[in-house]
Amino acid sequence: MSRMSHKIVPNLLAIALLSSLVACQSGEDVSSSPASSLAKQGQYALREKMETLKATHRFEMKLEYALNDGTKNYRRRYTFTYTDKAYALTHGDETYGYASHAGGIYTFSVLNGTFDAGPVYNLNIDDIWDSRSGLRNYYDGLNPSVVGSDDAYVFALSDTYNLNACLQMSLLTPSTGLASILREFSVTANQDGLIFYLDFGANGYIQETVTHIGEQGYVISALDQYESKGGLPRQADEELVALMAHLDGYNYESPMGSIAVSEDKTITVGTRYFTNGYVYEDYTDEYIAYAAEQGVAVKRGGYVSLSGGSAIKSGIYQFTASEDSDGNPQILSKDLSLATGETSDMTKAYPYFNRFSYMSYLSSFYPTSSNPYTRGAGYVSTRTDLASEFQKQIFQNSKTTPTSFYLLPEGEGENLSIRFLLPQSDNTAYSLVVTKFGTVKIPFIESFQASIAQTRGC
């Protein structure tokens, strides 16, 4: 299956403004105002059609956008298709959209007549019209009660209720300044549907021609044909699934990188260890000393899950690692601080780099032979929402915006590592490696856990 482009549907809840989609093009024919061919009075049920349009998710809207902003003349046509289970935006021979599916909302495209199913986009809802987090029919903001019995009506320019609904369906808002230059705003009913017309005088116009309003069985034919043959959302690459399965054991380590302390000296920060029972940050002596020089107290420590006993309740505790008289690391009870009493499950309480977090999104990653920062092949996702979610969990103090997300295998066998790479909008990148799968064992922490467990029932 070919790789699906996400050219104009980057976000389920925030579709890009039309101004970022249109391009300068002159000489394209567009329709004139409907005012010159009004239907007979009352023949086509203007108010009833507006009421149906307000309530339905079945219609097609052709948008003719011809506004002159003083420097460019945007004269393009777009088609918005709404059905009970899908939404699509078409321009020329390219269609991009979303479809409802039992496994979650997924993306799709139709390019040059070829249907391409994309990955599941949102697992939390299986209906794109879900009132909590799905798409919206902006025509639901219409107020049909203002129109009369004729099949043509000119709205008052102060009717922001209906104006806002029509501008939003054009992916615009009054804040763009358009409302201040509007000359006339009208609607006309005809045999096929409705025509909304916004006249901006010398600045051009916007025309929305709406058909198939509330039509039973109205579907997007390419999507309907694909699903009728058993078609599903794009599935994750099998090799990627196998790669991420190395994280299933929740047992691995992650180097914390290095830091340049002078022009000719770099020091290693340390290593972070992960298991089902604890997370341990083991800083190097060199880094601890350097931090102290900077006035920052850095201590080895982390989080430990304790099942509880007579003197302590179950939960996840934060700890610092001290040294005994022989210089061996240890945990003292007085060093403990209850981090959460809600769970003793480290895999839920601490942000792991595990398959649980990404399995549902792995179908969004596509094979790539290169990346901007390292050598070698891997997988890339252009979904910035997924990259941002990971970045917030792992790089909690980051302030820049990720532009993509790479999963890069490095080495093989016992030397296998997975690099998480997040290129940033300022041309830098966050990089983090996870390795040594299934080998982590910190004896002094496990001895402490055992000692606490022995106090139960005393």
pLDDT for 301-348, tens place per residue?
A: 999 998 866 667 888 999 999 988 888 899 988 888 888 766 778 887
Q: How confident is the model at residue 456 (pLDDT cuts 50, 70, 90)?
A: low
At residue 25, the pLDDT reads: 35
The string of pLDDT tens digits covering residues 7-51 is 333 333 333 333 333 333 333 343 444 444 444 568 999 999 999
Confidence of residue 177 (pLDDT cuts 50, 70, 90): confident
Residues with Cβ within 8 Å of 137's Cβ and at least 6 positions away in sequence, in order, are: 56, 57, 82, 129
Q: Distance between CA 119 and CA 114 in Å, rounded?
A: 16
Indicate whether 137 pLDDT > 90. Answer: yes
Cα–Cα dist 367/372, whole Å:
14
Is the separation of the CB atoms in 383 and 405 below 8 Å? yes
Tokens encoding 408: 């890069």
pLDDT, position 174: 67
At 269, give phi and psi (nearest 5°): -75, -50
Question: What are the structural domain ranges in the chain?
Answer: 18-233, 268-351+440-453
Using an 8 Å Cβ cutoff, are 277 and 304 in contact?
Answer: yes
Distances in whole angstroms, Cα of residue 245 to Cα of each of 238, 347, 382, 421 = 11, 15, 22, 18
Higher pLDDT, 9 or 358: 358
Q: Which residues are paired to 378 by β-bridges?
A: 368
- Please name the residues in contact with 279: beta carbons below 8 A apart, sequence gap of 6 or more: 272, 273, 302, 303, 346, 350
Secondary-structure percent of the chain, ordered helix, strand, coil, rounded to 5: 25, 30, 45
pLDDT tens, residue by residue, 202-229: 888 999 999 999 999 999 999 999 999 9
**How does DSSP assign 274-298, residue by residue?**
E-SSEEEEEE-HHHHHHHHHTT---
User: pTM of the full predicted structure?
Assistant: 0.74
Query: What is the predicted pLDDT for the residue at 33?
Result: 46
Give which of 35, 435, 364 is closest to 199, Cα–Cα: 35
pLDDT of 2 reads 42
CB neighbourhood size of 282 (10 A): 17
- Give CA angle at 440 (449, 241), nearest 5°: 120
Q: For residue 333, is it left (φ>0), alpha (ψ between -120 and 50) or beta?
A: alpha
Task: Kindly provide the b/e burial profile for residues 133-164, where b requires at least 16 CB atoms within 10 angstroms of the residue's own CB.
Answer: ebbebbbebbebeebeebbbbebeeeeeebbb
Is residue 375 pLDDT above 80, yes or no?
Answer: yes
Residue with token string 């260890």: 273
Q: How far apart are CA 407 and CA 379, in angstroms?
A: 5
Q: How confident is the model at residue 73, as a pLDDT? A: 46
Lowest-confidence pick of 23-32, 188-197, 240-249, 440-449: 23-32
The CA distance from 450 to 103, in Å, is: 42
- The strand order across the sheet containing 105-111 reads 114-122, 105-111, 94-99, 86-91, 73-82, 59-68, 204-211, 193-199, 184-189, 152-154
- Neighbouring CB atoms inside 10 A of 311's CB total 10
| H or E element, residue 273 | strand 270-274
Round the average pLDDT of the chain to a whole number and report it: 85
**Helix or strand (DSSP H, E) at 411:** none
Cα(296)–Cα(283) distance, rounded to whole angstroms? Answer: 13
HEC profile of 193-221: EEEEEEECHHHEEEEEEEECCCCCCCCCH
Segment 389-410 mean pLDDT = 87
Q: Round to whole Å and give the CA distance between 453 and 418.
A: 34
